[in-house]
Amino acid sequence: MTTYAVSIPEDSEVFGTTTGGFTRFEYSAAVRAHGLLFIAGQVGYRPDGSLPETIEEQTEWVLRRTEEVLRLEGLALSDLVEVVSYHPDMQKHLAGFLEVKKRFVKEPFPAWSMIGVSGLARPEFLLEVRAVAAYPDGHTR
C-alpha cells in the first residue's frame, strides 16, 4: 500500500503559526491512501494561534482549516465523503455549529456523524472535526 502524508506549508495563511502541533504530537495533517484523503481532527485555531470563544467562529476556522488541507491536494469540501464532529457541549452549541456548517457544506452532502464527548484536548475547544475525502476517479496525484 502506498501512502502519502500531506504537510501544511509553514507560510499557510489559514494555519499560520499553528503547524507545530503536527511535529510535537507526531501526526500528519492528512494522509492519502487508496484514492482517499484522511484528514486529522481540526480545531478552531486562528492563524495567529489564538482560539475564538464562540462556537460560530471556532466552526468557521475548523472548516477553513479542513478546506485548506483539501485545497493543498486539489480537492474541495464537495469531495468530502465522511465527516465526524466531536462536541463537548452539543446541546448548547449545536445551533451555532449548524448555522456556520450550512455556509460551507453544500450538496452532495457527506455522511456526517456528530458525537457528544466529555471533553477534547483543551477545555477551550468547543469542536473538533475529522474528515475523509475521495479523489476523483483516475486522479493520479
Arithmetic mean of pLDDT over the chain = 93
Q: What are phi and psi of 55, to 5 degrees?
A: -65, -35
- Cell readout for 123 is 477545555
**What pLDDT is recorded for position 139?**
60
pLDDT in tens, 109-125: 999 999 999 999 999 99
**What pLDDT is recorded for position 10?**
84
pLDDT in tens, 45-59: 999 999 999 999 999
Architecture of the domain delimited by 4-112: 2-Layer Sandwich (3.30)
